[in-house]
Amino acid sequence: MTRRPLPVTDDLDTGGFFEAVARGELVVRRCDGCDAVLHMPRAYCATCGSWEGRWQPVAATGTVYSWTVVEHQVHPAFPVPYTVVLVKLDDVPGTRLVGHLPGRPALRPGQAMAADFEDVDGTVLPRWRTADVSPAPAP
């Protein structure tokens, strides 16, 4: 069994994300200067020039923005078919996270998604899945 490639978790810009994930929490980076969401996370804000920022906890829920089913085998640790899904975060709709779903699950735009957290060889990663409940109707 080939081991899954794992992300660098102690990077200066993105380390805070993985620290939070290890606690079972999702966070996004926000600029203290102009409140912009910096995603992918990094120290410097290209909008206002500030180096000050914070990690904002967000709910580990979102909706399907788009997806594609990969049929072409690339890495042995990720057997095809699998589905790459872009999840629009409920709390920060402009921010999308990438999820990996095995197989060819039936998806539709706007479908509810939720993340839990899995330990892969000592590194905790968010794992997106389709939520069991339907998205709440718009108020």
Total residues found in the chain within this entry: 139
**Structure-block tokens of residue 125:** 């990663």
Q: Which helix (H) or strand (E) holds 20?
A: helix 15-22
**Binding residue for other proteins (CB under 8 A) from 98, 102, 110, 116?**
98
Find the binder of other proteins among 104, 117, 131, 135 (CB under 8 A). 104
Distances (CA, A) of 34 to 19, 31, 92, 121: 24, 6, 15, 38
| Closest CB 98 distance from other proteins, rounded Å | 7
Applying CB under 8 A, the site for other proteins has a residue count of 20
Residue of 74, 95, 88 lying closest to 128 (CA atoms): 88
Positions in 53-72 near other proteins (CB under 8 A): 65-66, 68-72
Contact between 39 and other proteins per CB under 8 A = yes
Q: Under the rule (CB under 8 A), what is the footprint of other proteins?
A: 38-40, 42, 46-47, 65-66, 68-72, 81, 86, 94-96, 98, 104
